[in-house]
Amino acid sequence: MASEQPSARVDFDQPSIARVFDALMGGQDHYETDRAVVRQILEIAPEAPAMTKEMRQWLVRAVRYLTERLGVDQFLDLGSGFPTVENTHQVAQKYNPEAHVVYVDNDPVVQAHSRALLVDNDFTHISGNDLLRPGETLADDTVKQFIDFDRPVGLVMCAIIHHITDFQQAQQVVKSYVGAMAPGSYLVLLHQHNPDDGSEAAGVAASLQERFGSTGLDTRYRTRAEIASFFDGLELLEPGLTAPHLWWPDGPRLAPLTPVNWTSLCGVARIP
């Protein structure tokens, strides 16, 4: 495992997207400022931890499908967070032990944790670049060394683009990365969603967006049409753009659905 990016100083007084996600997943890599955000989220959506795990389970199914069924053997995971249980590298390397995975995250705690966890994994690497700068990220030495952009890549953007508050910037960031991929690559994207239909789910989405904004972790719960635009020009795989629990579930559903289950949309699309 390698990374050429130096870690920045950690600001323990500010919550982190990656650490809040870790807390919702039941992990250990978070601080009181992150837990305070989680408590605010739970006031609105007590089912948020279960939903966070459903998002991870969807990522597992998507990466498994690309690796096992479609033969993708390299992944660029943007805004990856902590490489904990059942993350991209573990799933891909279960089906292809030599699959290369490069995580990109500019959170210094994520970088330190990743270096420690992945030190003996020669096929998984961490880059400390800011995903908002696609040119710099794609030109990074670690990314270039371990991702061959002349061959298909699994481009993972799981629960990260909704933190880009400017919609046009979000579209441009996705477009920049997609444009750098070889034909036959795949975009794996999950985004927070506001059904905007007067439903209870729409109310939960609006409340969560407001609450995230008050914590400094701005999040945009976008409409289906806005999220679909990230896939413009690509070939969406079945079942298309849908809620995570509807994307090829592994078996019958056991837990009841709640409004928060309808506040995310995901899709996997082939880049022609």
Radius of gyration, CA atoms only, the chain = 17
Give how many domains the chain has, as a whole number.
Answer: 1
Q: Cβ(242)–Cβ(75) under 8 Å?
A: no
**pLDDT value of residue 34:** 84
**pLDDT value of residue 153:** 98
Tell me which residue has tokens 């020669």. 122
Domain contains 175:
yes
Ramachandran assignment for 81, one of left (phi > 0), alpha (psi -120 to 50 degrees), beta (any other): left
Q: Cβ(55)–Cβ(190) under 8 Å?
A: yes
Tokens of 197: 């239909």
**pLDDT value of residue 141:** 96
Cα distance between residue 10 and residue 221, in whole Å: 28
Cα distance between residue 144 and residue 126, in whole Å: 12
Domain contains 217:
yes
Domain contains 98:
yes
Domain residues for the domain of 121 are: 48-271
Over its length of 272 residues, how does the chain's per-residue pLDDT go in tens digits?
Answer: 444 444 445 556 788 788 887 887 777 777 788 898 889 888 988 888 888 899 999 999 999 999 999 999 999 999 988 766 689 999 999 999 999 999 999 988 788 878 877 788 999 999 999 999 999 999 999 999 999 999 999 999 999 999 999 999 999 999 999 999 999 999 999 999 999 999 999 999 999 999 888 887 899 999 999 999 999 999 999 999 999 999 999 999 888 999 999 999 999 999 99
Domain contains 245:
yes
β-bridge pairing 264-271 and 235-236: antiparallel
Domain contains 256:
yes
**pLDDT value of residue 10:** 56
Domain contains 239:
yes
**pLDDT value of residue 9:** 53
Domain contains 119:
yes
H or E element, residue 114: helix 108-117
H or E element, residue 77: strand 74-78
Domain contains 16:
no
Domain of residue 117, CATH code: 3.40.50.150
